[in-house]
Amino acid sequence: MNHIETRLHRDRDGWHATSNLDLADNRLLQIRTYKSTSVGALRTNATVHTKTGDGGLRHIMGFGSVGGDFSETLVASRPARVTEKVVTAQHESVLKTLPGVLAAVEAHYAKTPAIALPN
């Protein structure tokens, strides 16, 4: 498995943890743990992006249909407080399930046809 890089930081919305893992086909798996301000839950999501070559990332939203990039909420919890320790614990527990996440990503792209995008 490739090296996974995790970054923990705090901004005006609170603590966030983000882990990135390079995948085949110029893709990047990003796992993010953050407080969702819209629903008040501490969420951990996994999304796959394509590297654009200029340092950017592209994610095609599929809303559950064939053709979009992988995107899934892995955990949603409602801790009393969203502290650095709580964010770190939830994020690390999800990283322990990484083989299952990678299997779900692989299955998603096995059934998703490649999309030709205009340049």
Q: CA torsion, points 52, 21, 41, 34, in degrees to nearest 10?
A: -70
Separation CA 27–CA 21 (nearest Å): 9
Of 35, 19, 42, 36, which Cα lies nearest the Cα of 102?
19
Complete DSSP assignment for 84-97: HHHHHHHHHHHHTT
The mean of the pLDDT values for the chain is: 87
pTM for this prediction: 0.84
pLDDT digits (tens, 9 = 90+) for 68-108: 899 999 999 999 999 999 999 999 999 999 999 999 999 98
Q: What is the mean pLDDT of residues 17-45?
A: 91
Given a cut of 80, whether residue 14 has pLDDT beyond it is yes
